[in-house]
Amino acid sequence: MKLSDISKEELELMSYDDVAYLILKNANKKMKINDLFQKVCKLLNLNEQVFEEQIADFFEMLTTDKRFTMLEDGFWDLKEKHSEKVIIDEDDDEVFVEEQEDNEEEIEDETFYDEEDDNEEDDLKDLVVIDEDEEGENL
C-alpha cells in the first residue's frame, strides 16, 4: 500500500507504528528514529510539541514491534528487508569440543575418596548392630 493511496482520514486512524511501517516500506531506505518520527508527525499534521513529548514512546513502540529492526548507528528499517545470517564457524566448534574433553579428563583424574580408606574391614570395625528388641529394652 502506498502512502499516496491513503486518505488523511485513514492516516489519522492509524497508529504511529503503522504509519512508520508505510513510510519505511515506501522509502526503501533505512532512517534514523528522529527523521522517521518527524515524517510520521508531518503526515499526521502533529506539531513540534507532540514530537518532543512522544518520541520516547515512539522509540519504545518500534522496539516492541516485530516488524522493525534497529540497525547500526541508530538506523531503523523493516525486518522483512533484512535477513538474519547465522554463521557457524567450525573452528569455534572444535575448540569448544576440545575444551569439553579437557574438562572431562580433569574430572576423571580427580580423586573423590580418601585413598587410605581402601580397606573395607577398617570401615566396619566401629560398626555396631542394634537389634530392634534390644533397643526398646535399653531405653
* pLDDT (tens digit per residue) in 76-120: 988 888 776 666 666 555 444 443 333 444 445 555 555 555 555
For residue 10, what is its C-alpha cell? Answer: 485513514
Opening angle at CA 65, ends 63 and 69, nearest 5: 60
Torsion angle in degrees (nearest 10) through CA of 28, 31, 36, 39 = -50
Query: Looking at domain 3-81, what is its CATH homologous superfamily?
Result: RNA polymerase, subunit delta, N-terminal domain (1.10.10.1250)
% the chain with pLDDT above 90? 18
Task: Please tell me the pTM assigned to this model.
Answer: 0.56
**Mean pLDDT in residue range 17-36:** 90
pLDDT tier, 129 (very low <50, low <70, confident <90, very high otherwise): confident
Axis-axis angle for helices 16-27, 48-64 (nearest 10): 80
Residue of 48, 47, 40 whose CA lies nearest to 21: 40
For residue 71, what is its C-alpha cell? Answer: 540497525
- Bridge partners, residue 78, by sequence: 68
